[in-house]
Every structure is written in structure tokens, then in C-alpha cells.
Structure 1
Amino acid sequence: MKKVFPALCAVLFLGACAQGTVGSAPTQNATQASSEVATSGGVGDPRTRAKLHTELGSLYFQDGNMAVALQELGIALEIDANYAPAYNVRGLVHVYLREMEAADRDFQQALRLVGNDPEVNNNYGWFLCQSNREKESLGYFMRAIKNPLYQTPDRAYLNAGLCSLKINDLAAAEDYFQKALRVSPDNTQATFQLAGINYKRGKLEEAKKLIAAVTRRVEPNAELL
């Protein structure tokens, strides 16, 4: 069991890496979005144009092309300085680049424009967690969760759990992960984190059951087998 748990960590880490796309070439969706922007030729209302450039910037961000992502998001904000999603996505880019002061400014501006937006609150909460402001982050996760229009509250619960782990609050982390699973029973990350908590507490049988649930959802490596 003590051998299996670290091995599973490696499996999940590699799986997460495989799900991302890193490189300079845009994805097909980014190419399509770029074509839409070019076709619009600057025609249309500012909000629509800002939205197109923000979507394009988001796709370049997902593709790992941070320079072009920042360029597109900058264009979006030149067109419409009050378009909150552009600040939100640019904040994520700055977090990725570890430009934390710039990220904080962008998230704060997004919150000034759309203070109840669950995505912005969740993202800012995660930023605070990454900035060693874990306790402060929890309020933003809860604000996101309380929004009845939030389609993925399990993400905010998961983030709250991860931040609670950073400050060694196992009881709170366990509660958040369990709530994430009530919303999304197939949430592999939450299941894995609960296994880790049980492992730390010496509840090896319970941890083993949870790991078995995780391995059914991920491709195990030779060490796990």
C-alpha cells in the first residue's frame, strides 16, 4: 500500500500533463477563432469584438502560447476596457508566468466589474492560494459555490480542499473533497485527495478502496499493477 500511493501520484501527474497541450502552434480551434476575428475585420459592436479576441487569447493560453495570448487579450481590452472576461483570462496567463502582481491587478479589476461571477471568484481564490494566502482564498471559493448559476461548483470545492491541505487542515479538506464528490461523483482528483487524507491518518483500507476507484478511471502503470 505504501508503495502504491506514491506510484499513483506519478500516474495522475503524468495524466494531467498529457491532458494539456504545450507548444507554439495554435490548435484547430484557435485557428478557427483567428479566422473569425480576421473575417470580422473590426466590424461589429466593441463587446462582440472584445469577446472574440478574448476567446482567441484563451485558446492560445490553453495551447501554451502565452505571448500571443497576452497580445490578443490586450487587443480585447483596447477595444472594451470594461470587458471582465479578458481581465480574468489575462490574470490566469500572468499566474502561469508567475507574474503575480500583474495577475492580482487583473483579477481585482475583473471582480470590480463582475463581483459575483463564479469563474472569476474561483480563479482569484486559486491565485490567492498560490500566493500563500490560503485562508483568504476560501471566501472566494465559497462565493463562487453560492452562485446558483455556477455550473461546476465541484471545482471550487476541490480548490478549497487543496488550499486547506496546504495549511494542514485535514478536516476541512476532507469536507470540501466530499462535497466535490457529492456534486460530481466521478471527480478523480477529489477521490485521490481523499485517499491521501486517509493514508495520512493511517486508514489504509479506506485509502486502498479510494485508490481502487481512481485506478478504474486512469491507466495504471507497471508499478501500480
Structure 2
Amino acid sequence: MNKDRSSDINIELGMAYLQEKNFPLAKIKFLKAIHLAPQHPASLYSMAYYYQKTHNIKLASQYYKQALSIAPGNAAVLGSYGTFLCQRKKYKEGIKYLIKASAINTLTYQAITYEKTGICALKAHLADTAYKYLHKALQNNPKNTNIYLNIAQAAFLTQRYKLASQYLKYWHINKKRTPKSTRLELNIEEKLHHYSRVAGLKLFIASLTSKNT
């Protein structure tokens, strides 16, 4: 068995321990993965992810940058670092790395990277960019119902009100209605001048508010 494969096995075990919140054992496995294959990008960005999850931002950033220095064209490294930056509210920088990742990514992960780019762009108030990449994500994987609320929001912000309504209807068919989705629906219906629907939604939102007080 080559060292990269041995490293990957330890990474898989580390991720399993991390999911179980067994942080000491997870760290041992990630460190072993690096020891076995110190130039293996996956071992480095997995260690970075461990530090990210345990809120050691300085070390997380250090390991992500180390992985990038070894594999600057690796889609997984670029995507992981881009997601990390977006979570730290460094949206524009994060989007840059995510776009690089999506450009070289395989079809298996491309839709996920597009979706992450779109969500990051929404948080950065870059509505056109958000719509562009969420639409790409939807084209790659139309069965991913999780996309529909975000793309409805992006469509609304880019004045695609009819499309926003269609996306949101699909969300409400497949997912549980939320206060956020209902308020978005109200905003869309106001823009479409569906005033009878607006009145009903306002009453519904008022009833939700009264239940929570």
C-alpha cells in the first residue's frame, strides 16, 4: 500500500472521529496522515479542517495555505479554502477560490462548488454572482432541493420575480415552510402585484409572530 493511500485511510478515520466529536482521536489520525504523506494535499487540508472545526483559525489558515503551496491547482484544496474564507466572512476572497475550484472541478463535485459560490455571494450581497452560480448548480443537479430557497432569493434580488416565485413554490412543495421563506414569498408577491395573496401572507406572518410571543 502506498503512503498516500495509507494517509487517506487515516484521514477517513479522522473525519469519522471528528463527526462523532471525538477531537483527540481525530487529531491523532490527521497527524498520522501528515506523517505518512507530508506532501499529500488531502492530509494537509484535512488537518486544516480539523482546526477550523475546533476554532483554531490561525492553524487552520496555516494548513490550508500549506496545502495550496503544494497543490495550487487542486480543486478540493481550492474549494475547502474558499469555503473556509466565506465562513470567516472574507466573502470576495472566498468566492475567488471557489470559482477557481469550480473551473477545474470534476462533474461529481462541480454542483456543490457552484452552490457554495452562490451562497457565499449571497452573503456578500453580490446578487448577480449568486444567481449565476446557483443557476449553474441547479443545472448540474436539479434534484437538489436545498438550492431552491437560495436561488429564489437571488432571483428576487436580481428582479427575476416570476422565476423567484417558481423556485420558491418548488421549495415549499419539497421542504417545510419557514418564516424566512414566507417573508420572501411576501416580498415576491408584492413585486408581482398579487395583492390578495399579499394580504393572506401578512395575516399568516402575524399569526406566526403571535405564537412566538
**Residue correspondences, number:** 181
* 1:112 maps to 2:69: yes
- Give the distance between the partners of 1:153 and 1:145, measured in 2 at CA: 6
Per the alignment, residue 12 of structure 2 pairs with: 55
Per the alignment, residue 50 of structure 2 pairs with: 93
Per the alignment, residue 34 of structure 1 pairs with: none
* 1:172 maps to 2:129: yes
- Give the distance between the partners of 1:45 and 1:205, measured in 2 at CA: 55
Q: Taking structure 1 as reference, are residues 143 and 201 closer, same or farther at Cα in structure 2, changes over 3 Å only?
A: closer
Pairs within 5 Å for 1:36-185: 44-147=1-104, 149=106, 151-185=108-142
- Give the distance between the partners of 2:35 and 2:134, measured in 1 at CA: 40
Q: Taking structure 1 as reference, are residues 180 and 45 closer, same or farther at Cα in structure 2, changes over 3 Å only?
A: closer
Q: Can you give the 5+ residue segments of structure 1 that lack an aligned partner in the other structure?
A: 1-43
Per the alignment, residue 11 of structure 1 pairs with: none
Report which of the two has the higher share of helix. Answer: 2
SS of residue in 2 equivalent to 1:116: coil
> Scaled by the length of structure 2, what TM-score is found?
0.73
- 1:102-152 CA-partner distances (Å, limit 9, x unpaired): 111111111122221111111100111122221111221121111153521
Kindly state the Cα deviation for residue 188 of structure 1 after the two structures are TM-superposed.
2.2
Q: Can you give the 5+ residue segments of structure 2 that lack an aligned partner in the other structure?
A: 183-213
- Give the distance between the partners of 1:159 and 1:145, measured in 2 at CA: 10
- Give the distance between the partners of 2:20 and 2:94, measured in 1 at CA: 27
Which moves more between the two structures, 182-191 or 102-111?
182-191
- Give the distance between the partners of 1:121 and 1:102, measured in 2 at CA: 17
> Scaled by the length of structure 1, what TM-score is found?
0.70
Q: Taking structure 1 as reference, are residues 201 and 111 closer, same or farther at Cα in structure 2, changes over 3 Å only?
A: closer
- Give the distance between the partners of 2:10 and 2:27, measured in 1 at CA: 10
Pairs within 5 Å for 1:12-23: none
Per the alignment, residue 193 of structure 1 pairs with: 150
Check the 8 A contact 1:111/1:120 in 2, yes or no.
yes
What is the Cα-based RMSD across aligned positions, in Å?
Answer: 2.6
Larger Rg: 2
Check the 8 A contact 1:144/1:150 in 2, yes or no.
no
Check the 8 A contact 2:75/2:101 in 1, yes or no.
yes
Check the 8 A contact 1:194/1:210 in 2, yes or no.
yes
Per the alignment, residue 16 of structure 1 pairs with: none
- 1:170-219 CA-partner distances (Å, limit 9, x unpaired): 12111111111111112223211022234557876644432231234335
Could you tell me the percent identity over the aligned residues?
A: 21
SS of residue in 2 equivalent to 1:152: helix
Q: Taking structure 1 as reference, are residues 158 and 45 closer, same or farther at Cα in structure 2, changes over 3 Å only?
A: closer
